[in-house]
């Protein structure tokens, strides 16, 4: 899916460059090097964003596991602590 993310962001870079040239009322296919630079820069942002999403999902998974462990420990402590107090 990395390819799709990078290609999507690169396409957004191409459209951004065309839009910028259109605002300036210049030929949108003038200076193809600028298009390539925008596509490369936006593709790099897409690659970073893909990695960011993976890192965030991993952190969410770890946090969820930690919360579940804490709930289990608290439930065990409450059930065990209540029995000790009654004796």
pTM over 0.75: no
What are the extents of the domains in the chain?
2-86
Confidence class for position 82, pLDDT limits 50, 70, 90? low
Tens of pLDDT, residue by residue over 13-57, are 999 999 999 999 999 888 889 999 999 999 999 999 999 988 999
Q: How far apart are CA 16 and CA 42, in angstroms?
A: 10
Mean pLDDT across 76-82: 79
Return the sign of the alpha-carbon dihedral for residues 27, 29, 30, 33: positive
């Amino acid at each position: 899916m990395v390819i799709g993310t990078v290609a999507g962001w690169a396409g957004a870079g191409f459209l951004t460059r065309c839009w910028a040239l259109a605002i300036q009322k210049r030929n949108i296919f003038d200076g193809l090097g600028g298009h390539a630079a925008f596509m490369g820069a936006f593709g790099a942002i897409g690659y970073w964003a893909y990695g960011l999403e993976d890192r965030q999902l991993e952190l969410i998974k770890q946090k969820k596991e930690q919360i579940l462990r804490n709930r289990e420990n608290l439930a065990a402590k409450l059930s065990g602590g209540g029995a000790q107090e009654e004796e």
